[in-house]
Structure 1
Amino acid sequence: MTGGWESDAQTAWRQQPELGSPSVVTEGDISTVTFYWRDPTGTELTSPIRRVWIYITGVTDHHQQRAPQSLQRISGTDIWQWQIRLNAGWRGSYCFIPSRNENDFSAAALQNPPDRMALREGWRKLLPQAIADPLNPLTSWRGGRGHPVSALHLPQAPAQPGWSDKAAFTAPRCLTWQSKRLGNQRRVWLFTTGESEPERRPLAILLDGQFWAEQMPIWSALQAETDRGHLPPAVYLLPDVIDTQHRSEELTCNAEFWLAVQEELMPMLSEQTLWRDDPATTVIAGQSFGGLSALYAALHWPQRFGCALSQSGSFWWPHRQRTGEEGRLAQQLKQGELDASPLSIYLEAGLREPVVLHANQHIYPLLQNAQSLHYRLFDGGHDALCWRGGLINGLVTLWQPVRALSGVIDGTE
C-alpha cells in the first residue's frame, strides 16, 4: 500500500461525513463505488478488529461463487475502505460485519471457486453480527434474515415511483385471522386507498404482509401512486407469515393454505369492507417463496385469483440442490396439468440471483398462452430494495384495464 494511495483515500474520506457513504463516481454505464467504515476502537494499534466483511446482496453474498470480501484498513488510521465497479443501473442492499477473527470461513468457502453451501453457511453464522452503514443517510431496515441493511441506488437504476413520497394516508387496520383449517392464527393488515366507490375497488393480497407492513412500510407509496392516478383506489390485504417455518410450509404450493384463504380469510374481509369481487382484477403478489405461491394460487384457482405478480419466484422448488431438474409448477405446466390462459401474469427476476433467474427463464415460455404476460429483469439480487419498485410497477401494469375503465388513463401514459 503506497503512501500516495493512502493520502488520496484519506482525502476522499474527509469528504464522507458531508457526502455520506458510499462514494459513487459514474462514467458512462459504469459506477465506481467506494465503501467506508470508521473503526470506533481506533487504529490497528488499539483495535481488535481484523476484518470488516461486506455483504452486498447479489454481489458478494452466497448467490455468487466469489470469495468473501473484506474492507481494508488504511494503515495508521481508523478508516476501512473497499471499492468495486458496478453497472450504473444496479440497485441493492448491503451491510458490514466487523470481526475480531482473521478468517471466519471454512477452507471450502475460500477455495476457487468457493463451495456455495460452505459460503452460505459462513455468511449465515456471521449475519447476526451485521451492522448497517452508519454513514449512509438513507433509512436502514432489516433484511430477510433479520440483519440490518443499508440501501444503495446507482444513478441509472430504474425509478421507484411512490417510495420517496410522504403521502398522507389512512392508517391500516390490523386484524386477527384465526384459521380452523390451518390450526393457527396470524395478523392481517387491511389497507384501502379510496372510499367514493368501494364496490369498484380491485383487491390485492400481498404475501409476507409483516414485511410490507412493518419492515418496509408500503402505505405511503401505494397512496402516492393512487393520488397520481397510476393506481386505482383499491383494497390491500397483507397476511403475516407467522414465522420462517410456517412460511416454508404455507408458501410452497400448499393447497390447504389457499383453501383457507378462500374459505376463511375472504369471508372475513367481506365483513370489513367492500371491493370488486372479480378474478380479473384480483391480484396475488409475492416475493421468493411468495412469488412461487402467487403463481401457484392463480394457476390452481383462476376463477378466484386472475392476476399473479411474482417477484424472484422460487420456481426451482422443491429441487434447489438438483441441477437440471424442473420445479413442480414447470413440470405441471409442461405436462398440460395447468393452464395459464385465463390469467394476467407479471414476472420479474434479478440478474444477480442465478438459481432464481434460471428457474424464471425456464417457466416464462411455459406461460405464453396467458391472457397477458409481462416479464422484467432488473440488475440486482434477491433483494427487497429491488422488489419494492417492481411491486408498484406490477400492480400498475396488472390494473391498467381497471384504470382504463375508470377513465384514469389520459392517453399520455
Structure 2
Amino acid sequence: MNAVQSARIEEFRRTRDVERLTSDLRAAGGPLVEDAEGDDALVTFVWIGPQRQVSVRGAQLFEDRNAMSHPMRHVDGTDVWYLSVLAPRGVTTVYQYLVDDPFLDADKTDMALLGRLVAESRDRSFADPFNPRRMFPQAAKIAGVDSAPPEQWDSVLELPGLEPAPWFDGAEPPLTRHRLVSEALGNERTVSVYAPPGEGPHPLVILLDGESWLSVARLHVAVHELITSGAMAPAVVAFVDNPPDGMTARMIELACHSATTRMLTDELLPLLRSRFPLTEDVIVGGNSLGGLAAAFAAFERPDVFTAVLSTSGSHWWGYRPGPGGWGKDDEPEWLTRQFAAAPYKPVRFWIDVGRLETGASPLSPGVDQRAANRHLRTVLTAKGNDVTFHEAPGGHDFATFRRSAVRGLLTLLPG
C-alpha cells in the first residue's frame, strides 16, 4: 500500500461501521477518492464480502503496471478488503475484483500458463457493485466470449478532472454485416460496416479488433454522433472481427503478418469497394496489437493506406525469447527499426499511448509501451511523416482507447 493512508479506511478500523462505509461507497459511485498532495488523488478500492482472498484486477494505477492483479488487504474481523494507491487526477481506467486470485504465484513469463489463468479467472472476476459505469470485458470479447452478466463486466474508474466524453451514450446506428472468406489467412470473419448519411464517395476507415470496438467501446455510436453533428467528416467505417478461434489467431495475425496485409488489400478492400462508394483515402487502424498490425500494413502497402490510427499500438513487439518464441529477432521494436531503415513512406500517422503505460514486461526487455510509442513517433517524424502524437490520461484498456480513437478520427477526418 502507498505511504499515504486512507482516512476513510482508518475511520472504519475504529468504528467497524460497515453500513456507513457502504453508504460512502454508494455516494462515491465506486472507489473512495480522497485529496492528496500535489496533482494526485488517493484512490481506495473496497470489496465487501466473506472471501478468503481478493485482488484488484486491471487498474494500471499501481507501481507494477504489468501485474495481472494486485492483492488487497483485509480488515481483521470484518468482510472488508481494501487497497489504496496514489493516482493522477483526470485519468480513467478499468478494473475488476478478483476472488481467489490464480495469478499470485504464477510464472509471468509463461504465456501459455497465463492464457489458461485468464480463462480460469473469468468466472472469479466481478464488477464493482457500487460503480454504475461498466464496459463489456475486453479480455472476454477477444477470447470469443459474446455474453457475460453485467456483474462480471469491467468497471470504469473516472477520476475528477477527466474530460467528458458524451459521444458513446447515444442510440446505435444501423450496420451492415458481411462475411469475409480469406484465402490469404485460411479462415473467415465478420466485417460490420457503418455507412454515413448522404451520398458518397467517402473515405474509408478500417478498424481491426472490430468486435471489441463495437461491443466494448461502442465506437460506432460515437462515430455516428460526431458525423451527424458535423465534427467529423463523413466516412465509411469497417469493423473487422478476429476469426472465431479468438486469441491465438489474433496473436499471429496482428503481429506484423504479411498475410493479414494481403487480406486487407486484396480481399477486404475489393469487397468494400463493390458495395460502397469510396474515395482513395483509406485509413487503417487498431488498438494494441491491432495498432501494430495497422502500422505494418501501411509499411508494406503505402500505395493503398493513406493514414494509420494507432491506438496504444504494441510497438514494443519484436523480441523473440528463444527458438519457436513469439517475435522476430533478439530485440524489441522490430517494426520501428524497419521504418528507420526503409525509404520514406508517404503515410499520415495518429499515434497515442496511455500515460499509465509504463514499466517493461518480459516480452519487451528494457522497453515499455509508452517509450516504444514515443520512439516510433520520433523515428517517423525524423523520416518526414505527418505524425500527431497524443499521451492519453489512462492505461491499456478500452476506457482509454475509445477516447483516443475519437481524438484520432477527428484529427485525421476533421469536419
With the shorter chain as reference, the TM-score category is 0.7 to 0.9
- Counting matched residue pairs gives 374
Q: 2:15 aligns with which of 7, 26, 36?
A: 7
Partner residue of 1:331?
337
Alpha carbons of structure 1 residues 6 and 80: separation in structure 2 relative to 1, 3 Å:
farther
Partner residue of 1:42?
none
Match of 1:282, SS?
Answer: strand
Residue 70 (structure 1) shift = 2.8
Partner residue of 1:301?
301
* Rounded Cα–Cα distance in structure 1 between residues aligned with 2:218 and 2:318: 30
Q: 1:256 aligns with which of 246, 259, 269?
A: 259
Alpha carbons of structure 1 residues 388 and 61: separation in structure 2 relative to 1, 3 Å:
farther
Residue 205 (structure 1) shift = 0.3
Partner residue of 2:213?
212
Contact 1:174/1:187 (CA < 8 Å) preserved in 2?
Answer: yes
Match of 2:249, SS?
Answer: helix
Partner residue of 2:41?
31
Partner residue of 2:128?
133
In structure 2, give the amino acid aligned to 1:363: L
Residues 364-410 of structure 1 deviation map (CA, whole Å, 9 limit, x = unaligned): 2110134421111123221111000000110110113xx3xxxxxxx
* Rounded Cα–Cα distance in structure 2 between residues aligned with 1:17 and 1:96: 16
Contact 1:162/1:221 (CA < 8 Å) preserved in 2?
Answer: yes
Aligned: 1:347 with 2:372: no
TM-score (norm 2): 0.81
* Rounded Cα–Cα distance in structure 2 between residues aligned with 1:360 and 1:219: 26
Alpha carbons of structure 1 residues 186 and 257: separation in structure 2 relative to 1, 3 Å:
same
Aligned: 1:117 with 2:109: yes
Matches within 5 A, 1:240-279: 240-242=241-243, 243-276=246-279, 278=280
Residues 131-183 of structure 1 deviation map (CA, whole Å, 9 limit, x = unaligned): 111221113311235573110111123443512x31x4531111111122322
Alpha carbons of structure 1 residues 141 and 26: separation in structure 2 relative to 1, 3 Å:
farther
Runs of 5+ unmatched residues, structure 2: 1-8, 142-151, 323-328, 359-367
Residue 272 (structure 1) shift = 1.9
Alpha carbons of structure 1 residues 326 and 36: separation in structure 2 relative to 1, 3 Å:
closer
Pick which of 261-270 and 70-79 moved more. Answer: 70-79
Q: Cα RMSD (Å) of the superposition?
A: 2.9
Partner residue of 1:312?
312
* Rounded Cα–Cα distance in structure 2 between residues aligned with 1:254 and 1:63: 28
Match of 1:81, SS?
Answer: strand
TM-score (norm 1): 0.81
Residue 222 (structure 1) shift = 1.0
Contact 1:98/1:129 (CA < 8 Å) preserved in 2?
Answer: yes
In structure 2, give the amino acid aligned to 1:198: G
Contact 1:178/1:186 (CA < 8 Å) preserved in 2?
Answer: yes
Residue 104 (structure 1) shift = 6.0
Partner residue of 1:44?
none
Partner residue of 2:94?
93
